[in-house]
Amino acid sequence: MTDSPKPELNPVTKVNRQPDRGAYDRETIDAILGEGYLCHVGYESQHGPVVLPALYGRSGDSVYFHGSNAAGMFRRSKSDVNVSLTVTLVDGFVLARSLFHHSMNYRRVVAFGKAEHVTDPAEILHGLKIITEHCLPGRWEEARQPNDVELRQATVYRIELSAVSAKARSGAPGDEKKDVELDIWAGVIPVLTRIGEPVPAPNFTAAVGLPIALNSFRRLSDA
């Protein structure tokens, strides 16, 4: 087994503002990627900068994401495209006594590199499985898997986690000492992500209960 490549500490990936909040170790980066499910992919189009949302999944040192054939990045070329891929988790609103010191508690990962267009049918299938299982573990085996026609229509990209960094904020507001005695509420309002009650499709007639995959769905919460 080979070691994972170390992230490149270059001016693009280096956290310059409040560098103490930055992290470059794969344990931190993988944990954030593992908890999220939606990324935003930015690239330079012929009309200017574009940022698109996409579902993703990590496989070792690569992140696969799925896009639409109609999107400019996928439509204009089959060659590699330089992108930035961002995953952000919001943990709370930070309310200080002064508006200037209001903030958010968050965790985020930004990766830079080539978005490699996956063309091999076997890897397309692998990428789609990685994305599906990342978002809803167990669903790949429950549902009908893509056929050859669908695989030819699928658009999957891969980016290597070589130039990547994480950044996070946690904890209480950082008020000025002179503001601490002000009669103003200060603290953190947590932001919680949960899954609601499943709603069957209008044409659902099968004599089956909820998908087994929901039993292991890490974002399912009774809260």
Is residue 101 a part of any domain in this protein? yes
pLDDT tens for 85-106 read 999 999 999 999 999 999 999 9
- C-alpha 57/C-alpha 134 separation (Å) is 5
CATH of the domain at 211: 2.30.110.10
Contact 98, 71 (CB under 8 A): no
Is residue 192 a part of any domain in this protein? yes
Is residue 3 a part of any domain in this protein? no
State how many domains the chain has: 1
Chain centroid, CA 131 distance in Å:
11
Q: Which domain holds residue 149?
A: 19-216
pLDDT tens for 104-151 read 999 999 999 999 999 899 999 999 999 999 998 889 998 999 998 888
pTM summary value: 0.85
Is residue 142 a part of any domain in this protein? yes
Strand 62-67 relative to strand 155-160, pairing = antiparallel
Is residue 41 a part of any domain in this protein? yes
Is residue 12 a part of any domain in this protein? no
Is residue 14 a part of any domain in this protein? no
